[in-house]
Structure 1
Amino acid sequence: MAYDFKCGYILRGNGADPDFERAGRKQQYMAEIVSFFVAFAVVLVMCNTYFKQDLFAPVARTFVTTIEAGSSPEIAKWLIIFAVPGAILQFIGGPKKQLGVLFATGMLVGSTITGITVIVALIIRIVVVRLKGEEGQSTLYILGAGSIAGSALYSFFTSTLQLGKKK
């Protein structure tokens, strides 16, 4: 939600017109509240169907895998293998830049390619910010928010459309 408000602030001209900014924030806040209640209603209606089809969030499976790692040397090996690049990235980025955490989050989301995508995105961010400065950072905020929204919509609709299919 903070990125939503940041993008709105940038799109409205970085607060150049205080009245316009105030009105825009109010509209954005109301949209956030409405979307929260719509999401809550959808979850309330769909949760049983979702869980009956074993469509659990990937992070839940990751936690189960981590717990089971004590009984499987193969799983423990892969956890250690991915812990090393995460620790290296965290060390390179320093304590204020959570590169290792972002990489780990990418790994938790679904697959190895997601973690690698996070690394590529971070490299692109570093290059754009060095070349374009604050203007590039603003563009990346908007691009990131749009990408997250698009990904969320894609995931929602592909999951929702599969609910009616029989296995």
Structure 2
Amino acid sequence: MFLVGAETTTSPLNEQWLNCNPKTLMKAKHEILKVVGKNKRFEESDIDNVTFLQAIVKENLRLHPPGPLVLRKATKDTNFMGYDIPKTTHVLINLWAIGKDPENWSDPLSFKPKRICPGLQLAHRLLHLHLGSLLHQFDWELEDSFPFDMSEKMGMTVRKLKPLREIPTKSSF
């Protein structure tokens, strides 16, 4: 079902289910139903009108970035924490650590869609389109009970140690 894009785009979709309790998912489904209606597909043009869904995606990307590191290039000579970084130097930024840093986030390991989220734009529109479509067209049950094992394994992408198994059924809305 999630083979339509690169792993860095599709793997965060699985995380949405892990972090959403049934009440949160129902709130998102009601928001989508209000915006889209019953007889229309969720489309990219709907994304701007589903603010709670946007909060879920952003908070999830904070907690579980699809890749732990992002590469950037310094645009000017700078000094960071006593280190001189010349212009054009490549720097790796650890998004995984930043998203879980208690100096930046109160209760950093808790999933709170209403908190102020970082502006991580990785696959932003596509994640909303996929998640909105899946919530709009299906009801979901999980094979395992809540809460889930949130253990992760690091690599080029961040994955769950234990795969999540979802059971879709035709939407009751």
Structure in which a larger fraction of residues adopt helix: 1
Higher RCO (Cα < 8 Å, 6 or more apart):
2
Structure in which a larger fraction of residues adopt strand: 2
TM over 0.5: no
Query: Which range, TM-score by smaller chain?
Result: under 0.3
